[in-house]
Structure 1
Amino acid sequence: MRPVVRTWGYLCAVTFSVAACPLAALAPPASVPPGAASAPASAATVVPNTTVLPDIPFAPASAAAPLAPSAAGAWGGERTGNEPTLSDRVVSYRIDAELDAAKHAVTGKEHMTWRNRSDRPISRVYFHLYLNGFQNEGSTWFTERKVLTAHGRSRGTAALKKGEWGWIDLQQVKQGDAALKWTFVHPDGGPATDQTVVRIDLAEPVAAGATLALDIDFLSQLPRVVERTGWFGDFNLVGQWFPKIGVLELAGERGATAPRWNVHEFHFNSEFYADFGLYDVGLTVPSDYTVGAVGQLQGQPQRANGKTTYHFVQGDVHDFAWVAAKGYRTSDGSWQGPGSPKVALKVLYPPEYAGSAQTQLKASIDSLDYFSKTLGAYPYGTLTVVVPPYNASEAGGMEYPTFYTTEGYTKVEPGTFDQFGSDFVTIHEFGHGYFYGILASNEFEEPMLDEGLNEYWDQRMLRERGQNIELTTPLLRRLGFSPSFSGFAMERMGSRLKQPADPLGENSWDRFSSSSYGTVYSRTATAMHDLEERLGKQVTERAFHEYYKRWRFRHPSAADLRATLIDVSGNAKAVNEIFDQYVYGTARIDDRVASIDTVEVLPQAGGVLKDGKRIEFDRGELDKQVAKQREDWAKAHPKAKPGSGPFPWSSTVTVSRDGAQAPQLLRVKFADGSSEDVRWNDDRRWARFVFTRPAKVISAALDPEQKVYLDANKLNDSLITKADGTASRRWSADVAALLQTFYALVGSL
């Protein structure tokens, strides 16, 4: 998911998230607000989590990036490519659904099968009912949003009115002929009014290794678009819309030491996590609506009585979403690369955004090329891109397997800020197909493995394209004024490096503020940039290629990523420093050049013992000698630069460290135009480097090649022996240009 509403928000790295708040301590509202959905009284009751004693425990509410790598056999072990299916399919869904376009409601019948991978019988299972996050202001999602908006902003700020709430009702759940009962539970201690996780008690336990089959009738009422999913006008983005079973993790998988249900409530900042499986979905919509969905269309759509039924199938994915919209147009393309099937691409867009359709089609094709080359082959045969209509931008920037939404532009001129914005969002959402989709990271507990790593790989692609952020207009370009900066520089500006509040490996909801969660994107990209500088570009690429190979169609953790990076690079020191300091810690780096002291090495007064005799030098005689040598040298070197002369100079450069250790290059320049590089790669809090040369040091700079982006303050990285405003003028101009562009963009919205 993109972290902001519009692309200019990326520029300012303003991302909106959940603050850390113990939800159990938040009192639920005295009454359920209008729009609340309730389960049938005979089938469901709402009980606090304290009364629920599951036979298999929940993953803890505080779960985040584990320290221990997963077992080699986790999730069935590494996929070799010789298996009958790409993934170890744990679940399958056969769903028949019909959209009531006037009510924006979906009626569905779901036949789900789920394999019990554990070594024990299971008597109760847990399902996500994500749409209930939008049913009233007492949900975990809305409760957390209220807390966060008191300390910042949220991505979706719309206030839902009567008739605009969304929910999902279980109408019937059957195991064979037995009707089952269900109970809403709160694995994370959320408010009692939250109904996003439900426990279903089975009539017959499912044995170890056996398969459970359930038939579920449900009604999904889409909300008006507030975030991620919903309707606006004749546009319906149908995401998180069906009852979806949680993940049963086993010992050795993502830090689990025994079987546990990983089935968190729908938190404000969190996204999703599910088992791989097969989706076989029939969608019936009004015949004048355009449809796009996860997976491959089977045969020709069937029309009858003003309605059309589409049949989509996709294996080896872990979610299914679709769109139905009136008046939409389609732009088609195709791509094929080594190891991949031929991919049919489709961009669905409203007429007002026709100007961005071809741009997004090209960015998607380019993304297929880059990600397949640098990570691994794209394994699916379809890719569907949806541009939401005007006034439904909050449905944009959302990812599902083989299907994602972007944002629309009326016109995209090459080399403009709008092109960067359009390409960036398209590439970002495509990239989720790898980090969220194929690698299937747990976005609840480890958002950095999806949002963060994806942001890093997106910026690598833009860097390889030579595509910078252009802070200019056609008029300014004609005048020869085209300020720009790189995507990684943008990430650094949004990383809040001076005072990181949370480790990158923290889960998505235990965050100090919305801005702190936003750094999951920018600070991860910055940390990985710096790790790449330490390991080397090619080594880093090999390591990520191996990470994809080992963990595709499984569910890696941050510890698994660290282990892979160490295995491939052989540089445990560099990898562990980044992970210990940033993934598992809140370190900051601020190295600076503290001082430059220079002294001319002149003959010294006093006595010395030479050839067995003591000789004394008088200061007055030495001064005359020095003056004569200076005079003779000046005549012989009429064009000599200041700072050089007949006597050598001893220059001492002192560097200081305020924060964590980072390998640094120190470059000193001398008055005669020469320079010297030295490495500062130890853990000293300060160090002095002494240079004795014919000329004195006139400047010293840490990180002269601008590779250490994690340094919180780059302005103190350099020092010169006399005042020079070049650096401050350069940074001031950059900031002024950035702010002017930002205010212009805000004014245009």
Structure 2
Amino acid sequence: MRIAHLLAAAALLGGVAVSAGLMAEGGSPATVPAAGTDIALAPPKAAAVTQPSAPGAWGGIRSGQEATLSDRVVDYRIEATLDPVKHTIDGKQRLTWRNRSDQPVRSVYLHLYLNAFQNAESTFHTEQRKSGAGIRNSSLSQDGEWGYMELRSVQQGGAKVPWTFVQPDGGPATDQTVVRMDLPQAVAPGASTTLDISFFDQLPRVMARSGYFDSFHLVAQWFPKIAVLELPGERGATTLRWNAHEYHAESEYYADFGSYDVKLTVPREYTVGATGELQGTPVEKDGRLTHHFIQGDVHDFAWSADKRSAKPLVDTWSGHGGAPVKITVLFPPELASNAAPTMQAAKDALAYFSRTLGPYPYKTLTIVVPPHNASEAEGMEYPTFFTTGAAPGLEAGTTAAAMLDFVTIHEFGHGYFYGILASNEFEEPFLDEGLNEYWNHRMLRDSGRKMPLTTPFLRRIGFAPQASGFEFERMGTPRDEPSDPLGQNAYHRLQGVGPVYTRGATTMRDLEAQLGKDTMERAFKEYYRRWKFRHPSIADFREVLAEVSGQRKLVETVFAQQVYAVTRVDDRISSFTSEELAPTPGVRLQDGKRVDVSAEQAARQADQLREQWEQAHPDAKPGTGPFPYLTTVTVRRRGADVPQTLLVEFADGSKETVQWSGERRWHTFEWRKPVKAVSARIDPEGKHLLDVNKLDDSRTLKQDGSAARRWTADLAAIFQSLIALIATV
């Protein structure tokens, strides 16, 4: 039994904490020297940054005149061999890392992400249980299909490097996803060091977008990856610090840019897809092929291998100032119907993102359609390489087809927000998931795409309702009781990371409605220009929006309400009247005398005046007459202060529009006009999709079924979504 299995069994049975984790080279337990603790770690609960980064952070803005796209901090040279029967990988890695700081570095931190899947006591699975989700892919505990990574040896210049597992976020002592290596030779400021690492992977039954099913292998987070050393002035750091977080249940990743030179050896009959460009024809030896991939200016590397792959679909896309991009779609035979739609969606996304943000900077794009029973591998992004959804028997115009289209666009979009902009997904997932989701739906809207809510059968009988993407996001986000700011980190969230997508996209769409569509695009394009191949923070994004739009107060208010805090939006019309000011009973002066007018007399006088007026105005519109009308509208605010518009329409077609903002919880507006009001509506342009309930935004003084019809349509959309979901399971 492998040592990792023994440790897993010990953890499960007795909860024993192993101080040094695996054995150091030579079979003796690694020790923890006193040296190496002089550089702090990022706080365990670090989240949205409030202070903008220094102008020179990460080497400053990339002008395009540099020798490389990014300031390459790390170089990986990896040779790996896959055993597709045992689902294991033997790997050798030469990791060269440059110390960007002005201090000597005596210890480095590496991520061993695969150890999240080695037992039920990892931070990942512990958080899963606390959330009520149990163990993802629960068959693992029954069938022994766990995954892990062993460090078999680590050397620096021929000297052995001791290591110990640490839990920077205060997770269980049994978590082994972060390791500290205490170097025999410190790395001087500006100097580089090389670590020669021998490692072994046991892939898990596919889960959390990594692992195997049958002959299909998605090999992700599979090699020891060095953490990020942040300098003062970068992402809110005030002193030098290591940013190294455990693998949390709902977090993703953060790493330095660098270059990858990777040789992958697999059986001859296996088709391989990977990050980067294939170098020449694979070399055959002893029934195996070695595929050689190289890619610079990325911060991760992933690959797939499957002997059941159909002949790949390959095409080339060119446009918008970038080099031609070779697109490869890998898919199993039973999902051949997915290949062409995936290719088209990728081309459309390349065109849109290159035009609206900036040219795609790489020469390849590889997309994998996972096979049936490998759904855990669907929808995950890596540089120049991602997996999309899967829909057997795909038919155009159905919900399944639209979802494949959207997932492909979404995962491609990550290539910009996660890949090129490279934000910290542990601490600020909003910069990737939220912004990407917003830009995805922006693309769908701009290209006229809507979400069909139908199945193949219903479509054939002519029942195919549609919903806009942003309305779909709105329905899926918590609005009445949102619990977590968008800027919260990925792993301390009461409602999980889902609202980062839905509420994030909705918040950005609402801000777009305030700033203007063109202004928002200019801001995002500038954000990409300034921060590509660097690591922006939420504060950096906020500053670009404020500067480009020229509306700093509005931008900072939105960030204060929804990004750094979380505030419900709930404006409504609480009352609406428009009453005729006809003669009323009482004592009044007539010809210098006080006259007591009874209610009957006042009514008779009003009737006479109306009759005379109607005879004089035979073509008068309803709602007009001899008397003025007093129109009163009271609006109430039960949430955040948002810039609001009230629109009142009158019987003669005239309108009154007023603006309302401020912290006051209610306000009453009045108009005295010779015509009756017929409707009152706040947010007439639909700028506030975060509002708890849009149905209470309007009132009418005549019977109007539009609200009921809209509510019925919303219910129908939800119902049809459930039908489509059930039909595709």
Equivalent residue, structure 2, for 1:22:
none
Equivalent residue, structure 2, for 1:78:
61
TM-fit CA distance, 1:745: 2.8
TM-fit CA distance, 1:331: 0.2
Amino acid at match of 2:180: R
**Pair 158,720 (structure 1): closer, same or farther in 2 beyond 3 Å:** farther
1:104 equivalent in alignment to 2:87: yes
Equivalent residue, structure 1, for 2:264:
283
**Pair 45,727 (structure 1): closer, same or farther in 2 beyond 3 Å:** farther
**Pair 110,661 (structure 1): closer, same or farther in 2 beyond 3 Å:** same
State how 1:335-734 maps to structure 2 within 5 Å.
335-473=317-455, 476-477=458-459, 481-514=463-496, 517-603=497-583, 619=597, 624-638=604-618, 640-722=620-702, 724-734=704-714
Q: Give CA-to-partner distance per residue, 1:37-70, whole Å, 9 cap, x none.
A: 8434856758999x99711011010101110011
Question: In structure 1, what is the Cα distance between the partners aligned to 2:539 and 2:377?
Answer: 33
Amino acid at match of 2:514: R
Are 2:35 and 2:182, in contact at CA under 8 Å, matched by a contact in 1? no
Q: Which of 713-722 and 671-680 deviates more?
A: 671-680
Amino acid at match of 1:560: D
Pick from 67, 70, 73: which aligns with 1:87?
A: 70
TM-fit CA distance, 1:291: 0.4
Are 1:655 and 1:687, in contact at CA under 8 Å, matched by a contact in 2? yes
Are 2:231 and 2:237, in contact at CA under 8 Å, matched by a contact in 1? yes
Are 1:666 and 1:701, in contact at CA under 8 Å, matched by a contact in 2? yes
TM-fit CA distance, 1:160: 4.1
Are 1:607 and 1:615, in contact at CA under 8 Å, matched by a contact in 2? no
Are 2:120 and 2:135, in contact at CA under 8 Å, matched by a contact in 1? no
1:297 equivalent in alignment to 2:281: no
Q: Give CA-to-partner distance per residue, 1:319-343, whole Å, 9 cap, x none.
A: 0001111121200011112321110
**Pair 425,576 (structure 1): closer, same or farther in 2 beyond 3 Å:** same
**Pair 544,273 (structure 1): closer, same or farther in 2 beyond 3 Å:** same
**Pair 477,692 (structure 1): closer, same or farther in 2 beyond 3 Å:** farther
SS at match of 2:233: coil
Question: In structure 1, what is the Cα distance between the partners aligned to 2:593 and 2:352?
Answer: 75
Are 1:588 and 1:660, in contact at CA under 8 Å, matched by a contact in 2? yes
Amino acid at match of 2:443: M
Q: Which of 633-642 and 616-625 deviates more?
A: 616-625
SS at match of 2:281: coil
Are 2:255 and 2:300, in contact at CA under 8 Å, matched by a contact in 1? yes
1:274 equivalent in alignment to 2:258: no
TM-fit CA distance, 1:29: 6.4
TM-fit CA distance, 1:419: 1.8
State how 1:9-28 maps to structure 2 within 5 Å.
none
Q: Which of 615-624 and 545-554 deviates more?
A: 615-624
Gap regions ≥5 residues in structure 2: 1-10
Equivalent residue, structure 2, for 1:8:
none
TM-fit CA distance, 1:618: 5.1
SS at match of 2:522: helix
**Pair 155,467 (structure 1): closer, same or farther in 2 beyond 3 Å:** farther
Are 1:28 and 1:191, in contact at CA under 8 Å, matched by a contact in 2? no
Question: In structure 2, what is the Cα distance between the partners aligned to 1:427 and 1:651?
Answer: 49
Gap regions ≥5 residues in structure 1: 1-26
**Pair 280,55 (structure 1): closer, same or farther in 2 beyond 3 Å:** same
Question: In structure 2, what is the Cα distance between the partners aligned to 1:56 and 1:474?
Answer: 59
TM-fit CA distance, 1:682: 3.5
Amino acid at match of 1:493: M
**Pair 288,644 (structure 1): closer, same or farther in 2 beyond 3 Å:** same
Equivalent residue, structure 1, for 2:51:
68
**Pair 140,631 (structure 1): closer, same or farther in 2 beyond 3 Å:** same
Equivalent residue, structure 2, for 1:147:
130
Identity value in percent: 55
Amino acid at match of 2:527: Y
Question: In structure 1, what is the Cα distance between the partners aligned to 2:391 and 2:518?
Answer: 36
Equivalent residue, structure 2, for 1:189:
170
Question: In structure 1, what is the Cα distance between the partners aligned to 2:457 and 2:307?
Answer: 38
TM-fit CA distance, 1:484: 1.4
Are 1:370 and 1:461, in contact at CA under 8 Å, matched by a contact in 2? yes
Pick from 276, 283, 289: which aligns with 1:308?
A: 289
Amino acid at match of 1:466: G
Are 1:500 and 1:587, in contact at CA under 8 Å, matched by a contact in 2? yes
SS at match of 1:174: strand
Amino acid at match of 1:128: H
**Pair 629,46 (structure 1): closer, same or farther in 2 beyond 3 Å:** farther
State how 1:225-244 maps to structure 2 within 5 Å.
225-244=206-225
Question: In structure 2, what is the Cα distance between the partners aligned to 1:65 and 1:44?
Answer: 42
**Pair 102,477 (structure 1): closer, same or farther in 2 beyond 3 Å:** closer
**Pair 295,528 (structure 1): closer, same or farther in 2 beyond 3 Å:** same
TM-score (norm 1): 0.91
1:323 equivalent in alignment to 2:307: no
Matched residue count: 714
Are 2:36 and 2:106, in contact at CA under 8 Å, matched by a contact in 1? no
Question: In structure 2, what is the Cα distance between the partners aligned to 1:156 and 1:575?
Answer: 42
Pick from 10, 30, 46: which aligns with 2:14?
A: 30
Equivalent residue, structure 1, for 2:96:
113
TM-fit CA distance, 1:450: 0.5
Q: Which of 210-219 and 623-632 deviates more?
A: 623-632
Amino acid at match of 1:726: S
**Pair 744,723 (structure 1): closer, same or farther in 2 beyond 3 Å:** same
Amino acid at match of 2:195: L
Are 1:48 and 1:185, in contact at CA under 8 Å, matched by a contact in 2? no
Q: Give CA-to-partner distance per residue, 1:472-498, whole Å, 9 cap, x none.
A: 345655665432111101111111011
Q: Give CA-to-partner distance per residue, 1:105-147, whole Å, 9 cap, x none.
A: 1111111110001111111111000001111111111111111
TM-fit CA distance, 1:74: 0.4
Question: In structure 1, what is the Cα distance between the partners aligned to 2:28 and 2:617?
Answer: 96
1:334 equivalent in alignment to 2:316: yes
TM-fit CA distance, 1:747: 5.5
Are 1:48 and 1:192, in contact at CA under 8 Å, matched by a contact in 2? no
**Pair 615,309 (structure 1): closer, same or farther in 2 beyond 3 Å:** farther
Question: In structure 1, what is the Cα distance between the partners aligned to 2:723 and 2:136?
Answer: 19
Question: In structure 1, what is the Cα distance between the partners aligned to 2:657 and 2:549?
Answer: 25
Are 1:462 and 1:487, in contact at CA under 8 Å, matched by a contact in 2? yes
**Pair 52,512 (structure 1): closer, same or farther in 2 beyond 3 Å:** farther
SS at match of 2:649: strand
SS at match of 2:14: coil
Are 2:523 and 2:549, in contact at CA under 8 Å, matched by a contact in 1? yes
**Pair 473,205 (structure 1): closer, same or farther in 2 beyond 3 Å:** closer
TM-fit CA distance, 1:99: 0.7
Question: In structure 2, what is the Cα distance between the partners aligned to 1:651 and 1:642?
Answer: 16
Question: In structure 2, what is the Cα distance between the partners aligned to 1:91 and 1:615?
Answer: 99
Q: Which of 637-646 and 66-75 deviates more?
A: 637-646
Are 2:572 and 2:682, in contact at CA under 8 Å, matched by a contact in 1? yes
Task: Flag the structure with more relative contact order, 1 or 2, with Cα contacts below 8 A and sequence separation at least 6.
Answer: 1
Are 2:337 and 2:392, in contact at CA under 8 Å, matched by a contact in 1? yes
TM-fit CA distance, 1:614: 5.3
Equivalent residue, structure 2, for 1:175:
156
Q: Which of 739-748 and 699-708 deviates more?
A: 739-748
Equivalent residue, structure 1, for 2:121:
138
Equivalent residue, structure 2, for 1:6:
none
Q: Which of 337-346 and 678-687 deviates more?
A: 678-687
Q: Which of 74-83 and 599-608 deviates more?
A: 599-608
Are 1:44 and 1:183, in contact at CA under 8 Å, matched by a contact in 2? no
